[in-house]
Structure 1
Amino acid sequence: MRVSLPVGVAGAPTVSAVIPCFNYGHYLPQAVASVLDQPGVAARVIVVDDCSTDDSLAVARALAAADPRVTVLAHPQNRGHIQTYNDGLDLVDTEFVTLLSADDLVAPGALGRAVSLMAAHPRVGMVYGQPVEFVGEPPAGDRDGGAPYTWTRWRGTEWIRIATRRGRCFILSPEVVMRTEAMRQIGGYNPLLPKSGDLEYWLRTATHWDVGRVNGRVQAFYRQHEANMHATILPSMAADYRHRLLAFRYLEGTPAAALVGRARRALAREALGVALRELDADGRAEVARELRAAAVEISPAAASTRRARVLDSRLRRGSTPGHRLRAAARDLADRARWRFWVLTGVS
C-alpha cells in the first residue's frame, strides 16, 4: 500500500457514466446532472432503460433531447439489471467509465479526482472513495471525508488479500470509476451472480490491475429507500453471506485460489458474530440459527470454533445477563470499524 499526495491532470479526460434505470425516472434528472456538472472532465451519460413501466424512458429521452451529451438505450423487454449494466458498458467509447444507479449521485469533483489518480498511475484500473448514504433529498454542496486529501494505491493482489481476510466488499458501487481499458479486459458483469456481481467484478479487476482510492473527499452519494435493489434481491442476512462466497469463488481459477479458504473462514466468522448480535439485541432466534447454518455451510470448521460454541449455548439458554452491555460494546466496535473504513477504504 502506498499513500501519496494528489497531482493534477492536463486537459479534460473523457468519462462516461452508464446509468441503468428501471422505474427510477423520478431520480434520473438528479443523477444525470450530478455527472454532467462535474468539473475538469468531459462527461457523457448513457441511460439504459430496462423496459420501465413508469415514465422513465420519457424522462430519459427528454434529458437526451436537452443535452447532446446524453444518449438513451431502450430495452424492448425487461432483461434484468446485469444485462442492463453490460449493454450500457458495451456503448462506452471514453477513456474512463463509471456505473451509476439512477437513484444515486456522483459527488461534486469526484470524477476529476478519480481520473487524475489513474492518469498519474497507469497500472491502476479502478478507483473508489467514500460514499455517503442519505435519505430523502441529497446532501447540498461539497463534502469532505473527514481526512486529508490523499491517494492510496494497492497492488491488486494486496487488495484481494485484504478483502479475503475480512470476507467483505468495501465498496457500495456508485463511488467506483474505472479505466475503460480495464473494463474491456475483464469483460462484463457475470449474469450468474445477480446478487453479488459487484464484489466479483472488483475482485476480477484487482486480479489484473492495481486499485486506487481517493481519501478525504466524498466520491458518491448512495440513496437509501425501501425500493433499493440490494434490499429487494437478498431475502436475508444469511443469503448475503452465501452470495458473497459465490463472488469470492471467482478466485479459484486465479493465482489467488489459495485465498478462497481464508474468505470462507472470514465469512463464517462474521456470520456467527452477527448471529450473536441478533441475540444481544433481543432479536429472533430463528435468524441466529439461519446465520449459524450459513456459517457452517460456508466453512464446516466453523462449527467447532469458540464463537459457535458460545452461540449454541446462547440459543439453548436464551437471554442472559449482560447481553445489553455486550450489544453496546459491539456497537462501539462497529463505529470504530466504520471510522477506519471512512479513512482507509478497508475495514
Structure 2
Amino acid sequence: MARMDIAIPNYNYGRFLHDCIASVYRQDIEEIRILIIDNASTDDSVAIARDLAAKDPRIELCLRPENLGQHASFNTAVDWAQSDYFVILCSDDYLPDGALGRAVAALDRHPEAHLAFGDTLFLEDGATPPPGDRGTLQADERVWSGENFLRASCERGRNLIGGPMAVVRTSVQKRAGHFRRDLPHTDDMEMWLRFAAMGPVVEINHVQSIVRIHGSNQSAVVSNVHHWNVASEAAFEAFFSGFGRSLPQARDLLALARRSLSDRAYWCAVSHVLRGEPGVWDLARYAVKLRPTSAVFPPLGYAWRKADLWQRMAAMLPGKSRFHAQQTEP
C-alpha cells in the first residue's frame, strides 16, 4: 500500500497542472498515489492530465464528462483514498519542498494526532516563488488537543488553518466523512472542526502550502469581511448542529463563535466609518443580529484582546501623528 494518497481536483487550470505535479515530485515521500480529478474542463487540462498519467503509472485519472462541482471532486477523493495519509491539493496551488515529508514525520511522531497543518504562503499569480527550502523533517511544532483547537477556532471566529491544505490520516477522514456541499467557501473549515472533535492536531511552524491568488480563485468570490463572517458562521452552525452536536460544550462553543464573529463585525464597522469605506451597515446589523447587546454596549473585551487595535484605530483619526507621539512617550 502506498504511504500517501494525493488527490488533485482540477477545472480549467491546465496551465497550473505541471507545476502542481512537479511540486508533488519534490516531496520526501516515495510511496505515493496521485488522482487527478477533472471536472469537465474546457481548456487543455484533459490532454495535459493524460500526458502526465502516460509518463507516470502512479497517476490515476477521473475525467468527468460534466461539471459536478468542486464538492463532488473532493468527495470522490475521500472515497478513493486508501493509503496511510491523504491530502487534497487543488491544481492551482502547489507544495513547498519537503512539506509532505514534514507532515508525515509529525504524524508519525504523534500517533494520537489526526491532522497536520502549517503556514500558507499566498502568492500573486505570476510572482516568482521563493527559493525551494526543503528544511528539516522536524520543524518546530505544536500539538493541539482537539478541545483546545475547537475553542481557539471559536474564540477567533475563523479557520485556524490558513490555507486549504492539510495532511490527514486516511482512516480518520473516512470517519469524518464527506465535505458539505452547502458550505461553498468554508467546507474545509467545517471539516477541520470534525477532525478536532475526534482528537488532537499538529501545527507545524513552517510554510506547508502555497496558494496562487488569481481572479478565478473560489475565495475571490468572497470579497469582504462581512461575507467571510457570514461564511464562517455557516461553518460553525453546520458543525455544531451536525457532527459536533453531541460535544459536551457544543452550546457554549457555538455561543462563543457567534460572539467572536459579532465583535469582529462591530469593530470592522467602526474602522469602516473612520476610513469612510462602504459596508458599515451590513457589518453593524450583523454584529447586532448575533449579539443584540452590542447595540448598546460596545464589545470592549474584544478590543482589549487585540493588542494593536487601538493603535490602528488611532492611526485613522485626524491628528494621528500627534496622538501616536503622545502614546509612545515614556
TM-score, shorter chain, exceeding 0.5:
yes
Which residue in 1 is equivalent to 2:232?
Answer: 244
Post-superposition shift, 1:325? 4.5
Q: Which runs of 4+ in 1 moved over 4 A?
A: 325-329
Aligned equivalents of 1:64 and 1:299: distance in 2? 53
Q: CA deviation at 1:328?
A: 8.3
Residue 270 (structure 1) aligned with residue 258 (structure 2)? no
Letter in 2 for 1:185: R
Q: Does 2:66 correspond to 1:66?
A: no
Query: In structure 2, what residue type is equivalent to 1:113?
Result: R
Contact 1:43 1:69 in 2 (8 A): yes
State whether structure 2 residue 174 is matched by structure 1 residue 180: no
**Structure 2 vs 1, CA of residues 165 and 144 (structure 1 numbering), >3 Å: closer, same or farther?**
farther
Q: CA deviation at 1:85?
A: 0.8
Once residues 328 and 121 of structure 1 are traced to their aligned partners in structure 2, the CA distance between those partners, rounded to angstroms, is: 49
Shift of residue 236, structure 1, vs aligned partner: 4.3
User: In the alignment, what sits opposite 2:189?
Assistant: 199
What's the counterpart of residue 309 of structure 2?
none
- Pick closer, same or farther for the CA change 1:61–1:138 going to 2, 3 Å: farther
After superposition, what is the alpha-carbon deviation per residue over 1:317-342, rounded to whole angstroms, capped at 9, x for unaligned? xxxx966259989xx9xxxxxxxxxx
Counterpart of 2:200 in structure 1 is 210
**Aligned-partner Cα distance in 2 for 1:176–1:225:** 21
The 1:37/1:300 distance shift into structure 2, 3 A limit, reads same
1:288 to 276, 280, 285: 280
Aligned to 2:304: none
Aligned equivalent of 2:12: 23
Q: Deviations over 1:105-147 (max 9, x none)?
A: 11100101101111121111111001111112451423499xx
Moved more, 53-62 or 177-186: 53-62
Segments of 5+ residues of structure 1 without an aligned counterpart are 1-11, 309-320, 333-347
Report the CA distance between 1:197 and its aligned residue: 0.7
What is the match of residue 179 of structure 2? 189
Find the residue that maps to 2:120 and give its secondary structure.
strand
Partner AA of 1:282 in structure 2: G
2:66 pairs, out of 77, 82, 88, with: 77
- Please tell me the residue identity of whatever aligns with 1:43: I
Conserved? CA contact 1:51–1:78, under 8 Å: yes
Distance in 1, Cα, partners of 2:318 & 2:119? 29
Name 1:313's counterpart in structure 2: none
Helix, strand or coil for the counterpart of 2:12? Answer: coil
Q: Does 1:298 align with 2:298?
A: no
AA paired with 1:149?
A
CA offsets 1:44-85 (integer angstroms, 9 cap, x no match): 221111111211121111111111121111122111111111
Distance 2:270 2:119 in 1: 29
Per the TM alignment, residue 31 of structure 1 is displaced from its structure 2 partner at its CA by 0.7
Separation in structure 1 between the aligned mates of residue 216 and residue 10 of structure 2, nearest angstrom: 13
**Is the aligned partner of 1:254 residue 2:246?**
yes
Match of 1:340 in 2: none
**Structure 2: gaps spanning 5 or more residues:** 301-312, 325-330
How do 1:77-116 residues align onto structure 2 when only pairs under 5 Å count?
77-116=66-105
Shift of residue 267, structure 1, vs aligned partner: 0.4
Question: Which secondary structure does the structure 1 equivalent of 2:175 belong to?
Answer: helix
1:60 touches 1:72 (CA, 8 Å); kept in 2? yes
Correspondent of 2:156 among 140, 154, 166: 166
The answer to whether residue 131 in structure 2 is matched with residue 141 in structure 1 is yes
Once the two structures are TM-superposed, the CA of residue 161 in structure 1 deviates from its matched residue by: 0.7
CA distance in 2, matches of 1:156, 1:328: 43
Cα distance change, pair 44–137 in 1 and its aligned pair in 2 (3 A): farther
Deviation at 1:33, TM superposition (A): 1.1
Whole-Å Cα distance in 2 between the matches of residues 73 and 143 of structure 1? 32
Q: Secondary structure at the match of 1:101?
A: coil
Report if aligned partners of 1:35, 1:44 keep a CA contact under 8 Å in 2: no
- Which string of whole-angstrom CA distances, capped at 9 and with x for unpartnered residues, describes residues 298-334 of structure 1? 33333233259xxxxxxxxxxxx966259989xx9xx
Aligned to 1:222: 211
- How well do the aligned residues superpose, as a CA RMSD in angstroms? 2.6
Which residue matches 1:121? 110
Equivalent pairs counted in the alignment come to 301
Cross-structure match for 2:308: none
Counterpart CA distance in 2 for 1:327 and 1:114 is 49
Corresponding residue SS for 1:27:
helix
Give the superposition deviation at 1:179: 0.7
Query: What amino acid does structure 1 have at the position aligned with 2:230?
Result: R
Identity %: 30
